[in-house]
Structure 1
Amino acid sequence: MSKQTGIILLSGKWKDRVGYYRRNKKGKKEWWWRRAPENVQRTAATKRAATDFGTASKCSRMVRHALRPWLQYYGYHFDHNRLNKAFINVIKADKDHNTGFKVPTHHHMQSLCGFNFNSSKIIHEYLTGAPIITSDQDNTTAILLPGIHLRNTTTNKGVTHVTVKAIALPFDYRQNTVTPLVSETITIKRSDIHQAITLTLPASKEQTLILLEIQCGYEINNSIEISADKQTAAIDIIAVLPAVKPEKIGKIYRNRTPQLYIVPTCCQPVSNHQRRQITSLYPLKE
């Protein structure tokens, strides 16, 4: 392994070498070379494990691409490996399927609750209590926040407003894309942050990830400017809602005659002896 020091920095395979980059402790990119292996021996067990890893990577990619407009603020590339690891643990926890066929079940997806995309700040540092999520009759999901607590620290000095929004991700790993649903952004003055807040999201029939984002801002020339400091914002997964099971609807028939579920047996042919007995009892009239 050697470090690239030239003017033109390459990534990818070139002849018998592979170029790649990684970030140092300061967050800057460093470009490196390593020799590509001549032969890669993969057993059947290795291929099955790679299939499960591919399923986890696909789930992580779907979430990251859906949240790209929001994750760019928190450092989109830094959360790649952490989110991959979280989904790998979800896939490994599936004991109902064999290796190579594991899927992210709803029971194990609950481990994603509390995942913070901003490694510097979490939602619970702002909330005064746990959020309450309810499903209303008008096909909406309501998120009740008891209140927000803003500590008097150096990073929060000068903060005048707090913005709160909720994001829903209807998640189905068999699809290639996820369409996020965003609630209305609520802007609160710092003096009113202790009041309860209710956010409304459209309900989904699929399994849904519920995320909450809180950002601090400053009032400049009668407009709210979001703080660029990552210590003043957070976005976390607060719940994973199950998929709604479809209601069973009975069969509807156009005619009013009830359907026969038992087919009657066929009648046996009448023998000559039985025919003579019937004729003697009920003689034909001329």
Structure 2
Amino acid sequence: MATQNTPFPFIGKLGNLIGYRRNKKYFLRSMPEIVRQTRATRRAAQRFGMASKKGALIRSAFYGKLDVRADTSHINRLTKALIPSAGNNTKNIIGFRFNKHTGTDRFFALAPRLSADGILHIPSQTLPAFKDINMLEVKVIATRISFATHQVVNTQSDVLIIDSRKSFSGASFSVDVPGKGTLVVTLQVRGLKDNLPSGNGRSLAADIVAVQPPQTGQVFHKPAYLQHPISNETSNTVYPHFLPFVIQRE
């Protein structure tokens, strides 16, 4: 560590030197020639890179479609949720809040559920009473994301207005977005006062409420012949016996 004795001290990289400030003084140190990484460090870096890439793709899928202003921490929070599985288990992001200060559970005590037939159900329940809210704008945004090709395949959304002063008998939304890839469903709830957005900063929430991994199906290819044919005992005719290959794919 060396002190910068110059009229124009700097902070950052300059060639193979790094300038930095500590206790109102400026210092210099040289960059290491070799950066040694352990196997665990390399794996952690790989997991972070994969999670960061998938997180960016998820954010891009909902960009411009959500009305909530995601707080500045949402990028790191989403990446952190994906890191444990290196982004391979996207179900880890169920419950992720784009606005960390408010969740959709503030409006719906009974959480929505996704059925196998591609329907998102919000159960019948008693809605909470708010002083500055008398209506709820419910938006469901469903997107199909192919992480294999790194692209957003398709997106659809539906909006429902609910009078929070009346009995709520439940609602259903079709989220069966066509295409191949992972289905990610986000529920956005905005509190309204006489059809106008409430001035309350906690009246707008958007959470990822469901994730459905790609469905695998059976694919049959041309038959593969066995080495030993099977004889027909009645006609002495030899027929080649075959079995189809079966593989799994998205």
Regarding TM over 0.5, the answer is yes
Is the CA contact (8 Å cut-off) linking 1:216 and 1:232 kept in structure 2? yes
Distance (Å, rounded) in 2 between the aligned partners of 1:17 and 1:229: 47
Unaligned runs of 5+ in 2: 1-10, 21-25, 230-250
Distance (Å, rounded) in 2 between the aligned partners of 1:123 and 1:183: 17
Measured against aligned partners, the alpha-carbon deviations of 1:17-54 in whole angstroms (never above 9, x if no partner) come to 689xxxxxxxxxxxxx9978622613252344322211
Residue matched to 2:204: 233
Is the CA contact (8 Å cut-off) linking 1:163 and 1:187 kept in structure 2? yes
Alignment pair present for 1:42 and 2:19: no
Is the CA contact (8 Å cut-off) linking 2:121 and 2:170 kept in structure 1? yes
3-state SS in 1 of match to 2:218 = coil
Alignment pair present for 1:184 and 2:138: no
- Report the structure, 1 or 2, having the larger helix content: 1
Letter in 2 for 1:146: P
Distance (Å, rounded) in 2 between the aligned partners of 1:119 and 1:218: 23
Is the CA contact (8 Å cut-off) linking 1:206 and 1:243 kept in structure 2? yes
Measured against aligned partners, the alpha-carbon deviations of 1:242-263 in whole angstroms (never above 9, x if no partner) come to 21112333649xxxxxx96447
Measured against aligned partners, the alpha-carbon deviations of 1:199-239 in whole angstroms (never above 9, x if no partner) come to 112334422222211111123xxxx3333533112111222
Distance (Å, rounded) in 2 between the aligned partners of 1:134 and 1:179: 21
Moved over 6 A (4+): 33-37
Distance 1:36 1:162, change over 3 A: farther
Measured against aligned partners, the alpha-carbon deviations of 1:86-118 in whole angstroms (never above 9, x if no partner) come to 111232xxxxxxxxxxxx33xx43332222221
Distance (Å, rounded) in 2 between the aligned partners of 1:149 and 1:186: 17
Is the CA contact (8 Å cut-off) linking 2:18 and 2:31 kept in structure 1? no
Letter in 1 for 2:148: R
| TM-score normalised per structure 2 | 0.68
3-state SS in 2 of match to 1:178 = strand
- Report the structure, 1 or 2, having the larger strand content: 2
Distance (Å, rounded) in 2 between the aligned partners of 1:165 and 1:36: 54
Residue matched to 1:77: 72
Percentage of pairs with the same residue: 22
Find the structure with the greater CA-based Rg: 1
Residue matched to 2:55: 60
Is the CA contact (8 Å cut-off) linking 1:116 and 1:236 kept in structure 2? yes
The number of aligned residues is 209
Q: Among 114, 121, 130, which residue is 1:133 paired with?
A: 114
Counterparts of residues 140-219 of structure 1 (less than 5 Å): 141-147=118-124, 149-152=126-129, 156-179=130-153, 181-192=155-166, 194-204=168-178, 205-219=180-194
Residue matched to 1:119: 100
Q: How far is 1:70 from its partner?
A: 4.6
Counterparts of residues 8-19 of structure 1 (less than 5 Å): 15=14
3-state SS in 2 of match to 1:118 = coil
Distance 1:42 1:151, change over 3 A: same
Is the CA contact (8 Å cut-off) linking 2:68 and 2:99 kept in structure 1? no
Distance (Å, rounded) in 2 between the aligned partners of 1:212 and 1:164: 7
Root-mean-square deviation (CA), in Å? 3.3
Unaligned runs of 5+ in 1: 1-11, 20-32, 92-103, 253-258, 265-286
Letter in 2 for 1:175: T
